[in-house]
A and B are shown apart, each in its own frame.
Chain A
Amino acid sequence: ETGVTQTPRHLVMGMTNKKSLKCEQHLGHNAMYWYKQSAKKPLELMFVYNFKEQTENNSVPSRFSPECPNSSHLFLHLHTLQPEDSALYLCASSQVPRQGNQPQHFGDGTRLSIL
């Protein structure tokens, strides 16, 4: 139990579908992150939210739309995805500014497959 819960764990969708990934953290952190982990590629940071405000968007295509209604919840809305978007999507949270030995805490991820 990492304190970061992601749902669903697995998702299969067609290219024309619309779906959302959900992340919830119970650690009292004020920053949340979305990462994409593809086979044979390093972990890619997609979005960062500090105190519900988006502070980072790493040139992510507009078919990925994040939403952070409060410091405990983070969503990733998906629409008209491409086969190359199939990957493991990881959510993480942390406290900022960092203090002491505080790493990011990761959820178990959502395994997304695009048909």
Chain B
Amino acid sequence: ELKVEQNPLFLSMQEGKNYTIYCNYSTTSDRLYWYRQDPGKSLESLFVLLSNGAVKQEGRLMASLDTKARLSTLHITAAVHDLSATYFCAVEETNAGKSTFGDGTTLTVKP
């Protein structure tokens, strides 16, 4: 059974600071997703990571994937209040066609 662990589960940071969210998973995977969810809203796709060493950046967020370590990171640079949300990683087992989600990291950015 695929297990996906995110940490931290809760993160409170000051505006302007940097931080990293970690996503570990237990079996081989060929796809990893990062989603954002605002309170009362749907999940919004942020990144799709397909291969070892993949790195994607959008604004202040950068995601990377190390398939050998079974680890993905979501790095936040110079946080701003608008980034406050819950971030989920989701891992798709090779050839399984379905994703297993982590517990989510609730990020609060304070002025």
Tell me which of A62-70, A74-82, A100-108 binds B. A100-108
Interface size classification for chain B:
20 to 34
Q: Check A42 for interface membership: any CB of B closer than 8 A.
A: yes
> Please, which residues of chain A bring their CB within 8 A of the CB of B33?
103-104
Complex Cα distance, B42 from A107, in Å, reads 6
Output the least CB separation between A4 and chain B (Å): 8
- Interface mask (A38-72 → B, CB under 8 Å = 1, otherwise 0): 00011101001010000110000000000000000
Within 8 A of A (CB), among B3-54: 4, 31, 33, 35, 41-45, 48, 50
Residue of A nearest to B104 (CB): A42
Cβ–Cβ < 8 Å partners of B41 in chain A = 108
What is the chain B residue whose CB lies nearest that of A58? Answer: B98
* A43-B88, A96-B97 given; 20 more Cβ-contact pairs under 8 Å: A2-B42, A4-B42, A31-B97, A41-B103, A42-B4, A42-B101, A48-B98, A90-B42, A90-B43, A92-B43, A97-B97, A98-B92, A98-B97, A101-B50, A102-B48, A103-B33, A103-B48, A104-B99, A105-B45, A107-B42
Selected A-B contacts with CB under 8 Å, 23 pairs: A2-B44, A4-B42, A33-B98, A41-B103, A42-B101, A42-B103, A42-B104, A43-B101, A48-B97, A48-B98, A90-B43, A97-B97, A98-B92, A101-B48, A102-B48, A103-B35, A103-B48, A104-B45, A105-B45, A106-B35, A108-B41, A108-B42, A109-B42
- Chain B residues near A (Cβ < 8 Å): 4, 31, 33, 35, 41-45, 48, 50, 88, 90, 92, 97-104
Taking beta carbons and an 8 Å cutoff, which residues of A are in contact with B? 2, 4, 31, 33, 41-43, 45, 48, 50, 55-56, 90, 92, 96-98, 101-109
